[in-house]
Structure 1
Amino acid sequence: MQQLPSLVEYGSRRVIITITAVVCALLEIIDTTIVNVALPDMRGSLGATLNEVSWVITAYSLANVIIVPMTSWLSQQFGRRNYFAASVIIFTVCSFLCGNSSNIWELVVFRFIQGLGGGALLVTSQTIITESWPPEKRPTAQAIYTLGVIVGPTLGPPLGGYIIDNYSWPYIFYINIPIGIIAALLTLQYVRSPQYESKRSASEVDWWGIVFLTIGISSLQYVLEKGQEEDWYSSEIIIILTVTAIFGLFFFIWRQMTYKYPIVQLRVLKNGNLRIGVTLSFIMGFGLFGSTFVIPLYTQTLLGWTAQQSGMLQLPSTLFVAVMMPVVAVLIQKGIPQKYLIAIGMIAFFIYSLLSYKIIGPDTGAHDFFWVLILRGFGLGLLSVPVSTMSLSTLKGAEIGQGAAFSGMLRQLGGAFGVALISTFVTRQTDLHRSTLVSHLDVNNPDVQSRVAQMAGAMRAKGFDIETAQKKAYALMDAGVMKQATVLSYMDVFLWVGVMFLVCVPFVLVFIKTSKAKVNMADAAH
């Protein structure tokens, strides 16, 4: 495979290309979370049920995970510039159509198509940025790209909350339109397409690979998205789709290893740095999206915060990540071994989780979370850039796009696994803790009787009769038990996520080969 002249850019061209790619990645990631706060408004406006409106999120996620593994192949088929510009245009046009949807299923269809365009933006942006910078400066390039990946999930809820509070839900889609138009024009003007190999004819296209990939990944994503809602394997549809996902992915891997022109080059995973990088990307996705999911869930359900308030809580942490990115990039360029930065980042994330476990409670305030979340930003800053840089550092030519696709897919799946497992864990642990707490409540205990009498007296003062007042008193006590059980379940989440990161530290120090990475980076610079 022979690569044509270098795609490295300099001066204003590199600045414009980098900003365009980062903004496009931000658009895609923000759109995965901004919709969450608008679901109640959509439900009322479009006359949809809660289950129907949840498909607005699910359809976008399904499209993302289907398209991400195919982005490298599609770039080669149509040319990276053309494919990236087309993806921006699809994303932008569908943003307009989503905002103008007249019923829920029309919105779901347009969200799916929007997700096909959006998934390409995330991975192709990373490839464009990586190849626009010289190899010796790629840690800086990855720092800039990773900043968008970290900032996006945090900006979604407060931005969505502001739009919903001051305008209406269609505007969460309309804000993409002017940015998308500018990004498409800049892409056509400045982005260049590599020509690593000629595109395949229709007869050579791996159609069966596309079918198996679509069936396997979409089934897996549905199981992760809807498993908790459907009570997992008590649901026939979840069982069927789990089996479908297993067989779909099995036949997809078999097809890619045996077909002459596979749609996804699995052989690129022979690269040791990439294998370790995609594994760490999965773990990072689990921790990043899991913690981004659990904090708003805790503050909104237990503390009564709005989505905008919950999003703003995490903003200082995100800004601190922005401060960390260039610092970490400079440390890598100065030769600090990446495995040590990753290990320190994982330890910092563990400490953040442990502190969250200790401070969380029914009356935890924003000031309690401030420095804890700053520590999370410190950990993510040390993790994100080294992992992203290491994953692609020893790849060349078309392999960069293929490696970026794998990293993006595993990060997405890690996030999906994280949200699914955490939501299930919270539900199960809440039931367990509630059962334990109730077992310690004895109605014959004088303290319990005194507490019930006190609450019943308060109800009597509001005009309720004795029987109703006692029922309400017991209901309030039950609600208090449920709240305490939920708090304990969130504490468990933080503890176990932290332990997962701590357990990974020895593996990072053992399996990441510092000397090999340095040699290959030096080779790539020539």
Structure 2
Amino acid sequence: MSSPKGFARFIIVLTTVTAAVMELIDTSIVNVGLSEMAGSLGVNIEDISWVITSYAIANVIIIPMTGFLAEYFGRKNYYLVSMVIFTIASYMCAQSTDLVELIIWRFVQGVGGGALLSTSQAILFDAFTPEERPMASGLFGMGLILGPTLGPTVGGYLIEHFSWPWMFLVNLPVGIIATILAYTFIDKKEGEGQKRAGIKIDYIGIALLMLGIGTLQFVLERGEAEDWFASDAIKTCAVLAVIGVVGFIIYELRIPNPVVNLRVMKHRPYAFTTIFTFVAGLGLFTSVFVYPVLAQRVLGFTAYETGLSLLPPTLAGVVMMPVIGKMMSKGVSPIPFIVVGFILFAIYSWMSADISPDVGRWAFFVPLLIRAFGISMSQLPLINQAVAGLQPKDYAAGISLNNMIRQIGGAFGIAMANNFVSHRYAQHRADMVANTYDGAPAMTERMTAITQSMIAKTGDASTATAKAYAMVSGAVDKQAYYLAYLDTFRLIGIFFIIVLPLVVFLRKKKTNGPAAPVDAKAVKEAMEAAH
């Protein structure tokens, strides 16, 4: 089967990238609408956060299984059904009238959405020749960066101008159009869906994957809210996660046809690529989480203003993706890009940690621009590295596993940030309270000024002192959170620095003697069979 050309290729690129962006937007779009959703459904913030957790758990379970499911059902069939599931579940989320119903449909949405990421990437790669695949990686990487960043922007706009159900309804026209285009322009591969009778379903592997990865994601997502190991639920799920993950690894390595081919990890460059992918996912998702919370909780930005401040620098970074893809398609090594990208992200983290609390919306533009360039220069080469050196038959497994690692890195980063902010907030608040006791010169001067201002405005001397103490306490809280978020930026930067020495292991081992000639036709046929 030849690669599509012209308009057909354009439609395939548009469809697959749009589907991936739609899935990634839904990982973060609800973050800015939790308060309104909680109020509408009559629950608290801790309960409504299950809307995020259920989607993430479904995503991280289904993503590593996409290679097997696409082979079993046929890739086009699986892709179309996943789009339909995602679109219908989006509509049902918008129509939900209680929390349990919303959580269930959000989980179903995650099952459909998880397939869109890896399958979109595989279909997109097939639309290009092997020599052009770095350019395909660039196009896919554009969606990878845009999705999580567009989420808060789109969500903030819809919350500000409409209502929370529109965060789900916005998927309907996109999902319907993408489904029609995929059905019309994406061809079935030769023999697709005809191997089902010869494929044994790895039921035990699927069960262990769901147990291990599902409970691990629960621990990472809900640990902070449940007070970590003070909670019996977290302790139980942590034990089940260890049993499930260890059992899954041992079992999958021992059977001939596993649901997830972990044997690709024996390839050294790929194994170390997953470490970099984990850190990149940690930085991508955690920065999109920490910055909006800092901007809204401390700096007083609205959800929409926060999203707008993220958008221009991100778009500038997205423009770099095809440029980097073009350079890599001409033979430029991806490794220097990875190094520079990780260094830029560390610089962004340190610059963000030095931002003054009295800043406007655009004070973050330069750090966020550096972040966007860092992500562009690291994500694309890592996407390419995820298949470089693997056998064509292992591409689907390599892509799926790499995408799962990125998602887990993001979940780990957000859980780490939540826990770290809480501890650093308590420490900073205790330090400041120790210097704001009654009788301290600065405290006395501040209290006197606030009290007199209150009396001048209200004429109520009896409550002025109490209100002054409340204002001072609020200012201390705000400053403590501000310092805690700055510490978190530094922590994120440390991850990007300490992993850099491992870049030496990304290089493929040199073979002795002249390289064997490559049969381009055979490679192309093998890659078509892989997907």
Partner of 1:511: 505
Q: CA deviation at 1:168?
A: 2.2
Other structure's SS at 2:300 match: coil
1:408 aligns with 403
How do 1:268-279 and structure 2 match up within 5 A?
A: 268-279=264-275
Amino acid in the other structure paired with 2:506: I
Whether the aligned pair in 1 keeps the contact of 2:74 and 2:193 (CA below 8 Å) is no
Q: Distance in 1 between matches of 2:368 and 2:361?
A: 10
Q: What pairs up with 1:17-96 in 2 under 5 angstroms?
A: 17-96=12-91
Instruction: In structure 1, give the amino acid aligned to 2:307.
Output: G
Letter in 1 for 2:498: V
- Offset, 1:188: 1.9
| Equivalent residue number for residue 314 of structure 1 | 310
Residue by residue over 1:318-346, the C-alpha shift from the partner in whole angstroms, topping out at 9 and shown as x without a partner, is: 11112211221122223322111111111
Matched, 1:460 2:460: no
Percent sequence identity is: 41
d(CA) in 1 for partners of 2:409, 2:168: 26
Distance 1:345 1:181 in 2: 36
CA contact (8 A) 2:75 2:193 kept: no
The one-letter code sitting in structure 2 at the alignment partner of 1:235 is S
Decide which moves more: 265-274 or 346-355. Answer: 265-274
Question: Contact 1:460 / 1:466 at 8 angstroms: preserved in 2?
Answer: yes
Q: Is the 8 A contact 1:136 1:521 kept in 2?
A: no
Question: Which deviations, in whole Å up to 9, do the C-alpha atoms of 1:208-241 show, x marking residues without a partner?
Answer: 1111110111101111111011111111111110
SS at match of 1:192: coil
SS of equivalent residue, structure 2 residue 208: helix
Residues 132 and 522 (structure 1), Cα distance of their counterparts in 2 relative to 1, 3 Å cut: farther
Is the contact made by 1:338 and 1:514 (CA closer than 8 Å) also made in structure 2? no
Runs of 4+ in 1 over 6 A off after TM superposition: 519-522
Q: Secondary structure at the match of 1:314?
A: helix
Find out whether 1:227 has 2:223 as its counterpart. yes
Corresponding position of 1:336: 332
Q: CA deviation at 1:78?
A: 0.3
C-alpha change, 1:108 and 1:345, in structure 2 (3 Å) is same
Confirm or deny that 1:475 pairs with 2:455. no
Contact 1:278/1:410 (<8 A) preserved: yes
Using the alignment, how far apart are the partners of 1:294 and 1:106 within structure 2?
29
Three-state SS of the structure 2 residue aligned to 1:358 is coil
The answer to whether residue 424 in structure 2 is matched with residue 423 in structure 1 is: no
Q: CA deviation at 1:465?
A: 4.8
Residue of 324, 343, 348 corresponding to 1:352: 348
State the distance in 2 between where 1:139 and 1:60 align.
30
For 2:226, give the aligned amino acid.
Answer: E
Task: Provide, for residues 425-471 of structure 1, a one-character-per-residue CA deviation record: whole Å limited to 9, x for no partner.
Answer: 01100101111122233422223212111111122224365453222
Give the drift of 1:200.
4.9
Specify the SS of the correspondent of 1:364: coil
Q: Note the C-alpha offset of 1:17.
A: 1.1
Contact 1:362 1:483 in 2 (8 A): no
Give the match for residue 183 of structure 1: 178
Higher mean alpha-carbon deviation, 52-61 vs 341-350, is at 52-61
Q: Could you tell me how far 1:520 is from its partner in structure 2?
A: 9.6
Aligned to 1:206: 202
Asked if 1:286 is matched to 2:279, the reply is: no
> 2:93 touches 2:168 (CA, 8 Å); kept in 1?
yes
Partners of 1:15 and 1:499 in 2: CA distance: 40
Equivalent AA in structure 1 for residue 185 of structure 2: Y
Distance 1:203 1:341, change over 3 A: closer
Bigger drift between 274-283 and 36-45 goes to 36-45
For residues 131-176 of structure 1, the C-alpha deviation after alignment (integer angstroms, 9 at most, x for no partner) is 2211111111001001101001111112112222222222222221
Could you tell me whether the CA contact under 8 Å between 2:59 and 2:111 is conserved in 1? yes
Q: Which amino acid aligns with 1:500?
A: F
How far did residue 400 of structure 1 move? 1.4
**Residue by residue, what CA displacement relative to the aligned partner does 1:265-289 show, whole Å, maximum 9, x if unpaired?**
1112222332122221111000011
Scaled by the length of structure 1, what TM-score is found? Answer: 0.94
Q: Does the C-alpha gap of structure 1 residues 459 and 390 become closer, same or farther in structure 2, counting only changes over 3 Å?
A: same
1:259 equivalent in alignment to 2:237: no
Shift of the 202–141 alpha-carbon distance from structure 1 to 2, 3 Å rule, reads closer
Answer yes or no: is the 8 Å Cα contact 1:346–1:379 preserved in 2. Answer: yes
Deviation (angstroms), 1:307:
1.0
Deviates more, 1:382-391 or 1:96-105: 96-105
**RMSD of the alignment, in Å?**
2.2
Question: What runs of 5+ residues in structure 2 fail to find an aligned partner?
Answer: 524-531
Q: Which amino acid aligns with 1:492?
A: D
Distance 1:124 1:520 in 2: 32
Unpaired stretches in structure 1, ≥5 consecutive residues: none
For 1:392, what is the secondary structure of its paired residue? coil
Structure 1 residues 73 and 520: CA distance shift in structure 2, 3 A: farther
Contact preservation (8 Å) 1:72, 1:401: yes
Counterpart in the other structure of 1:163: 158
